[in-house]
Amino acid sequence: MKRREFLAAVGWNVGAATGLISLPVGPSPRRNHVTPLPPASVPSGPSLLVPMDDSQSDHLKAYGVTYRALQRGSRAEWLLNYRGGSFLLPLDSALERDAALAGVRAEAVGDADVVSIRGTIAANNMDAVPLEKAPDVAVYVPPNAPPWDDAVTMALQYAGVEYDKIWDAEVIGGALRRYDWLHLHHEDFTGQYSKFFVTYRGSSWLGEMVRRNTEMARSLGFSDVPDLKKGVARTIRDYVERGGFLFAMCAATETIDLALAAETVDIAAPYADGTPMDPAASEKMRWQRALAFQGARIEESYSIASFSDIDGHQVNNPGRRQQLGAFKLFDFAAKIDPVPTMLVQSHRDVVPDFYGLTTSFRRDRLKPGVTVLADEAGTPWVKYIHGEAGQGTFTFFGGHDPEDPQHQIGDPPTDLSLHTNSPGYRLLLNNVLFPAAKKRELKT
Amino acid sequence: MSGTAAVIGAVTSRRRTVVAVWVIVALLGTAAPAVAQARPAEVQRAIEAERAGRYQEAADRFERILKAEPASFPALLGFERALQRLGRLDRILVYIDAAIPLAADQQPVRSLQLRVLAQLGRTDALNAAAEAWIATVPKAEDPYREWAFALAQRGDIEGARQVLLRGGRVLGAGALLQELAQVAVASGDWPGAARHWVEAARAKRPAIPAAGLSLSHVPPAMRAGVLDVLLRELGDSVAQMIAADALVSWDRAGEAWALLDRVLPADPRSAVAALRRFADRTRHTTSAEAARMRGYALERLATLVQGPEAQQARIDAARGFADAGDRRAAERMLHEIAGDSAVAPAAASGAMATLIAVTADAGRAAAAERRLREWRDRLRAEDVALLETSIARAWVRAGELARANSILGDDSSVGAAAVRGWVALYRGDLRGASRWFREAGPYAGTRARITRRTSMLALIQRIGPDSVPELGRALLMLERGDTSRAVDQLVDVARTLPHTAGRGDVLGLAGRLALAHRDRRAEPLLLEALAVDATGPVAPAAMLALARIAAKAGPTALAIERLESLILLYPESAVVPEARRLLNQVRGAIPRS
């Protein structure tokens, strides 16, 4: 389904879901023509409102409660911009129990309350998006990685959203077709082990990483690890083009595009593939194959843990490292742009920034057509972007862990029960529920 | 002041050439004084424009100043800042070239030149400028240092390293070693940084603190490798001292002290400096181990210094030992001070007050009381009151309830009320204990003491009878550390209480105590408490304790079931947040801490 088709579908549903035709709340001129949805799709009877403003005791688990309700076959509505992007769910005992156990604040609302909510939504920059199906979620992650090594797996684990772990063998073997949503662990798709090879040589974890990747490349018939990762990157791009939802953070954002654009160019350091990097690599990159970026220059020094000049912050590049600031989420028109609106639902507009191997994206390296969801005012970089490729979409979020801004190797894992209202982590979870908003099959 | 003097005073020594020009102009009787007075004002106006964000105006103003006074370094710096904002930094190069031959001190202007060329990405020009500078001062470290810094600024760490190595070869051993270490740090090469720091410290001992500070930032995953370099590969006394410094900042004070103790310099001045630094650095961590090691270091320091300095070191050492819970060592130190006739009276009485408190906290009430009697007249009144309360608490712990009451006398403080509450409780006078605990309120003692008192107040208010001497005896037994017998006694007492008047609460307490001491009776006692009183406050607390037992034993499903029941049945209970956290851990939703 193309973006415009999706918008049309969502608009059709929304008009009905907001009850503008059947309920006496003062019709919006823009919506008067909307055909009512069949009654079965409209939540009726007592409902549970899960507010997502400052009254919410655990924003992160609220996503899990909604996800599990969808898993049980319930319908839900995402009330965009209404009380921080609340959820409206049909009241049942399983839902009540789940919310109570999770410590999620939920308010029982009657028909009159729902009418009032819909009136508010109709009159403001808000919208109600039906959520239909709990998406099937996969996380691309090495088999031995603990869940505490990656912000998304931490968030999924904490919220109680089920996911499968897949890695190179599954991706190359075609397993992606089973999933609606794929998250990329902070992988280095250039195959250079996050360029930690020089700094951390001798560390047991790095040795294990090299061994595991080398064995995998050999077993799948690739000449070396950079070659394997390029193959994985291509398969992931195909998945997106066939309608998949891709979400990536940290180094995975930048390196998947570098791997795609460098399909015929050697951009890997000698320690990774045994040959020196092509000295004219930057000039030979074919950016039309990449998802989000273009025109970047490759970092030539293999001792600097930076991949290119896509990242604005260059945390491991001493001469270019930039200070952390705060990024601001854009305010989209909910009724016109429901997709970016979903992705930026938060109870905070401004969120403290956090480092990652890739922290941000230089604005002048973005392809035309990429939607910026958040940026830092007055700087040449953006933080959070979204775009389409073929039938699917990709969303890239810079940084490693929203609640550990300086994250270093060996730091203790983040305990999300101490950050239950984290606006940064909310942004990750928006992405998990976003595919639930439209019901369609992946073309395989 | 004459015009000439004003001019001379207005310029810095760095600009001697310009001064000479101004002096000649002034002597010729021109308008030079007016011009000279206008300079600072003009610089000020340019800076104001810059502060206000009017960068074009600021750049124009700085440029005008530089046309009139080419070697004005403040103007050059301001011009650099403004041009950076405007994205036209290359415009400054011609002014830098003009300033270099005029500047008395070339170092800042040449550094600026390298920095600008680095920012502009003009590597060839940068290298040529650096070579030109070296040619003018071939024996100086500055050109190499600034050149390397400029390259590092561009991200060329390897280039920076090569420049420093070349400088080292030219200038001789010991040169630019700290800079090499810093470059290694910047590239994340921590083992390499450790090697350079040791070399630097071997050449110049004062580099040891800088080395320790730098290596304090080593990421946890790299620390073993760095220690390997310092202790095995290098291993001399300098490397060990640096390792000791780093270990303290990694919160491994015990290992750090063992190292420092072994390699403490023979020269007293160096040894004192090392001990002081070690003691200071342990203050940044709150662990008992760090406090104890601080005590050792200061005790050693006291032997190397004299007079008041030695007294202060002993007092600080005693505090360190007391913070670490090593009361015997603290007492030993304080005894030395209090018994030293050479010590100033104020210091001696302060030390004695601390010694009495430490003695009382150690449970030696009689010794503390005797010392207080001897020193009462020399101590401050507020110290005496606090010490009496401490001693009374020690008597309570010893089971000498009458002596505790007696030492409190007519003290009406909240601290005394709290102690009286415990005396009443251990006598079985629940009504009296309640009254005293309420009077003490939430102000007396440490947070732990307040929490303990409040929990006890909540328990005894649930118990029907006003007086239960057996319960008092059981709780006193608990106070004195005999938990096993206290649990037996509590169970016996509980079974004499009415169902609705504290039986479940006392059983629950016995069960939780048994759990804390890994006593197998815990689970049956908690289940019995639940069966007796499923609606009172004991129920959620007992369920949480039962869930902990299940979680520890392994059957996760049972732990989850118990925790879910707790949360759903007692949503308002104060233990629900704790239950949710345990539920998250049991389910693997958060890491176990």
A121 within some domain? yes
B34 within some domain? no
CA dist B326 and B315 (Å) reads 14
CA dist B78 and B351 (Å) reads 56
A444 within some domain? no
Distance between A173 CA and the closest CA of chain B, angstroms = 29
A443 within some domain? no
Q: Residue A35 — very low, low, confident or very high, per pLDDT cuts 50/70/90?
A: very low
A290 with A335, same domain? yes
Contact B186, B152 (CB under 8 A): yes
A248 with A302, same domain? yes
CA dist B567 and B571 (Å) reads 5
The 3-state DSSP composition of chain A as helix, strand, coil percent (nearest 5) reads 35, 15, 45
Whether the predicted pLDDT of B589 surpasses 50 = yes
B244: closest CA among B257, B226, B228? B257
CA A145 remoteness from chain centre: 19
Last residue of a domain, one of B375, B392, B407: B407
A380 contact B CB<8A: no
B348 within some domain? yes
A122 with A172, same domain? no
Owning domain of residue B550: 534-593
CA angle centred on B155, ends B109 and A383, rounded to 5°? 115
A143 with A76, same domain? no
B394 within some domain? yes
B141 contact A CB<8A: no
Q: What is the mean pLDDT of residues A230-255?
A: 95
Domain CATH for A397: 3.40.50.880
pLDDT at B361 (0 to 100): 84
A52 with A97, same domain? yes
A113 with A141, same domain? no
Q: Decide the pairing of beta strands A107-109 and A47-50.
A: antiparallel
Burial of B586 (0-12, 13-18, 19+ CB in 10 A): buried
Last residue of a domain, one of A131, A155, A175: A131
A330 membership: H or E segment, kind and range: none
**pTM of structure:** 0.67
Task: Verify whether the Cβ–Cβ distance B156 to A303 is below 8 Å.
Answer: no
- Give Cβ neighbours of residue B554 (< 8 Å, ≥ 6 apart): none
Q: Give the model confidence (pLDDT) of B545-571 as tens digits.
A: 999 999 888 768 899 999 999 999 999
A223 contact B CB<8A: no
Long-range CB contact pairs, B89-95, < 8 A, 24+: B89/B116, B89/B119, B89/B120, B90/B120, B91/B59, B92/B116, B93/B117, B95/B63, B95/B66, B95/B70
pLDDT at B210 (0 to 100): 86
pLDDT at B344 (0 to 100): 64
A345 with A309, same domain? yes
Contact A228, A237 (CB under 8 A): no
A267 with A122, same domain? no
A409 within some domain? yes
Q: How many domains does chain A have?
A: 2
A248 with A324, same domain? yes
A112 with A235, same domain? no
Percent of chain B residues past pLDDT 90, beyond the cut: 41
Percent of chain A residues past pLDDT 70, beyond the cut: 85
Strand, coil or helix: B22: helix
B349 within some domain? yes
Domain CATH for A111: 3.30.70.790
Which residues in chain A touch residue B584, judged by CB atoms under 8 angstroms apart? 158, 417
CA dist B170 and A326 (Å) reads 46
A366 within some domain? yes
- Can you name the residues that pair with A247 across neighbouring β-strands? A183, A395
Last residue of a domain, one of A102, A131, A160: A131
Residue B555 gets the label, from left (phi > 0), alpha (psi -120 to 50) or beta, of beta
Q: Residue A23 — very low, low, confident or very high, per pLDDT cuts 50/70/90?
A: very low
Virtual CA dihedral for A206, A207, A210, A216, nearest 10 degrees? -120
Q: How many domains does chain B have?
A: 2
Q: Give the model confidence (pLDDT) of B69-117 as tens digits.
A: 998 888 998 999 899 888 889 999 999 999 999 887 888 899 999 989 9
pLDDT at A442 (0 to 100): 35
pLDDT at B16 (0 to 100): 35
A253 with A335, same domain? yes
Whether the predicted pLDDT of B296 surpasses 50 = yes
A124 within some domain? yes
First and final C-alpha spacing in chain A: 13
The phi, psi pair for A320, rounded to 5°, reads -120, 0
Give the E-state strand segments of A202-311 in sequence order: 245-249
CA dist B527 and B507 (Å) reads 9
A124 with A145, same domain? no
CA dist B502 and A366 (Å) reads 70
pLDDT at A16 (0 to 100): 34
Helix axes B469-479, B483-494, angle to 10 degrees: 160
CA dist A338 and A85 (Å) reads 12
Task: Verify whether the Cβ–Cβ distance B155 to A198 is below 8 Å.
Answer: no
Strand, coil or helix: A385: strand
Task: Verify whether the Cβ–Cβ distance B221 to A319 is below 8 Å.
Answer: no
Q: Residue B151 — very low, low, confident or very high, per pLDDT cuts 50/70/90?
A: confident
Q: What is the mean pLDDT of residues A72-98?
A: 94
For B86, other C-beta atoms within 10 Å of its C-beta total: 13
Which residues in chain B touch residue A299, judged by CB atoms under 8 angstroms apart? 155
B246 within some domain? no
Last residue of a domain, one of A77, A109, A131: A131
Task: List the structure tokens of A122.
Answer: 């109709």
Which residues in chain A touch residue B191, judged by CB atoms under 8 angstroms apart? 202
A442 within some domain? no
B87 within some domain? no
Q: What is the mean pLDDT of residues B385-411?
A: 90
Is ipTM strictly over 0.90?
no
Which residues in chain B touch residue A417, judged by CB atoms under 8 angstroms apart? 580-581, 584, 589-590
Q: Give the model confidence (pLDDT) of B312-339 as tens digits.
A: 888 889 888 888 878 788 878 877 777 6
B39 within some domain? no
Owning domain of residue A432: 137-437
pLDDT at B61 (0 to 100): 94
Contact A67, A429 (CB under 8 A): no
pLDDT at B35 (0 to 100): 33
Q: Give the model confidence (pLDDT) of B203-259 as tens digits.
A: 887 788 888 888 988 888 889 889 999 999 998 889 999 999 999 989 899 999 999
For A5, other C-beta atoms within 10 Å of its C-beta total: 12
Whether the predicted pLDDT of A136 surpasses 90 = yes
